[in-house]
Structure 1
């Protein structure tokens, strides 16, 4: 599906949007629910990733295809490794088979897991024979994707003696680890995170409880970008959000102050409003704790004519696509000057924005959604726009609710 995008007829925005539950929280809670069936979940994400996770957890034996869902691949690897009597082949898309998983597999093997590589060493597909894991200590590099660490934390309560995880080196993506630990705390599982050591106590069962998933802050990032690029006085209300969120991407509220967007919390909602504050020529941000919003921020800066130097992005090359290379290629289609390293992106300030470009999305939902707000400034096309269903199936409908013209071509 190829879409043509153009700006709302009224440049002064005033809208309300209800956003689906967080994919990150949903997938964590779905795994915990599989381990502790008396948990109930409200406001489940309607994303492809959450649907794949639910289907995967329901399979006892055979093949589980998680398509492009990296979170499901990491979480289900640990889950099936702990399920006695289940034998699963865990596979995914062509891109998923190129995304490394060796560090997690080796960690699980050190605990006693039976996992084999079906094709290439270090990569999916995996053949997993579930068994009781008797060891309770594991060591991991601290700078890896937090999903590896969260994957182990989530299954830890079901292990006979719980789990002690030692993280070696400088820890990145701390908020996602804290999100996982926060959810454990909410259901009564004791866990500690001190210095570079995480300890999770074993738990046979938890008290029956309904967990309500907060709406997705990553999804909110696109509306922050829209407001930043809109006329002063524009505002958008987003539901349902908490002022004290478990999600690392809630840092958006403070980051987007630098782009002239103020955030007001009100009854499980947030109001985003474009103020008239003077903007800097360029910004420098370390996004090691929130790498998923890097693409949105880069596009926002370009739309505002600002430069940026974004660091802490070492996990982006192994996402759905190499996000750093993809951002450079697509921004340059509009006339941007971009340089990248293995862990950074630098955009030069530029007040000229080209029109008529066709943005490629590389099977990456965030490429489509990060670029969409740029339609506030110029008309362009998005190729394979349906990829947004991975995390936010209603995205294009919500863009139309804001007033954007979205046409299939």
Structure 2
């Protein structure tokens, strides 16, 4: 489905939006729930990724296809590795079969897991023969995707002696590691992160409890972008959020002050307010701890005529698409002057935006959502717009609620 986005008349926005639970928290908790039956989950994400995870965990078939769900691929690799007596082939979309998994597989094999490649070495599909894993220490590079590390942490308490992970070199995406550890602690599982070593103690059972998933901060980023490009006085309330968030993307509240957006924290909600015009000419920021909001920030800078130098983006090369190259291609079509490296993005100031440009989404939900707020500036087309369901089922409905007109073309 291709759509045309437009705004008939720019005006102050005053709306309330409810966003479903964090995909990151939901997928972690779904794995933990299947390891510890005492857990009940409320406000679970309605994203495609969370649905794929639930289907995979309840499946009795040998071959499990998780589509584009990268988090599910990483977390399920460890989960099935310790499911004694279960043998599965874990596969996914064509893009998923070109996203590396070798670092995680090697770490699991070091622990004693039995995993082999069905086709290309280092990539899905992979065959996993579940077994009892008895080793308790493993090393892994600290600058790899945090999902590899979280994948190991999620199964750690079910190992006979727990698990100690030594992180080698620079450690990136620490907030996502901390999210996993905080959830373990919240469930009563002892876990610590000191220096470059993470330790999780073995735990056979936990007390019965209900965990409420906080709404997704990555999804909130698109409303920050909308408020940044709106008139002074615009206000959007988002539920359900909290100030002491486990999610690294909650740094949005601080980052968007540069665009004149203030975040007011209420009881289980936030209010985004456009209170002044941005006086910023260049935004310099390291996003190694929150790479998923890089696309939104780059597009906001382009919309507001602000140059930016974004670093810490090396993990974007292996997401649903090569997000850095995709950003370069699509922003260039709109009139931007932009350069990217393997780990950074550099956008020049621009005050001219081309209208009616068709934005390719590359099977990447964040490409579609990051570019949508540009409709406040010029009419814009989004190709394969249904891709947003990967993380945000109601995205286009919520865009209409804040005044963006949508026409299927």
Question: TM-score, normalized by length of structure 2?
Answer: 0.99
* Residues 144-178 of structure 1 deviation map (CA, whole Å, 9 limit, x = unaligned): 00000000000000000000000001100000000
Q: Which residue of 1 aligns with 2:162?
A: 162
Task: Tell me if 1:109 matches 2:114.
Answer: no
* 8 Å Cα contact 1:60-1:86 kept in structure 2: no
Q: Distance in 2 between matches of 1:367 and 1:167?
A: 31
Task: Tell me if 1:241 matches 2:251.
Answer: no
Q: Which residue of 2 aligns with 1:71?
A: 71
Q: Which residue of 2 aligns with 1:195?
A: 195
* Residues 19-72 of structure 1 deviation map (CA, whole Å, 9 limit, x = unaligned): 010000000000000000110000000000000000111124411100000000
Q: Distance in 1 between matches of 2:144 and 2:376?
A: 36
Q: Distance in 1 between matches of 2:45 and 2:322?
A: 25
User: Displacement, 1:403?
Assistant: 1.1
2:251 partner SS: helix
Q: Distance in 1 between matches of 2:41 and 2:91?
A: 27
1:146-295 → structure 2 map (5 Å cutoff): 146-295=146-295
Q: Which residue of 2 aligns with 1:134?
A: 134
* 8 Å Cα contact 2:232-2:277 kept in structure 1: no
Q: Distance in 2 between matches of 1:11 and 1:300?
A: 18
User: Displacement, 1:267?
Assistant: 1.1
Task: Tell me if 1:386 matches 2:361.
Answer: no
* 8 Å Cα contact 2:192-2:199 kept in structure 1: yes
Q: For residues 80 and 275 of structure 1, do their structure 2 counterparts lie closer, same or farther at Cα, with a shift above 3 Å needed?
A: same
User: Displacement, 1:10?
Assistant: 4.6
User: Displacement, 1:275?
Assistant: 1.2
1:317-396 → structure 2 map (5 Å cutoff): 317-396=317-396
* Residues 287-308 of structure 1 deviation map (CA, whole Å, 9 limit, x = unaligned): 0000000000000000000000
* 8 Å Cα contact 2:214-2:242 kept in structure 1: yes
1:158 partner SS: coil
CA-based RMSD: 0.7
Q: Distance in 1 between matches of 2:397 and 2:10?
A: 17
Q: Distance in 2 between matches of 1:20 and 1:105?
A: 32
Task: Tell me if 1:29 matches 2:29.
Answer: yes
After TM superposition, the runs of 4+ consecutive aligned structure 1 residues lying more than 4 A away are: none
* 8 Å Cα contact 1:8-1:376 kept in structure 2: no
1:160 partner SS: coil
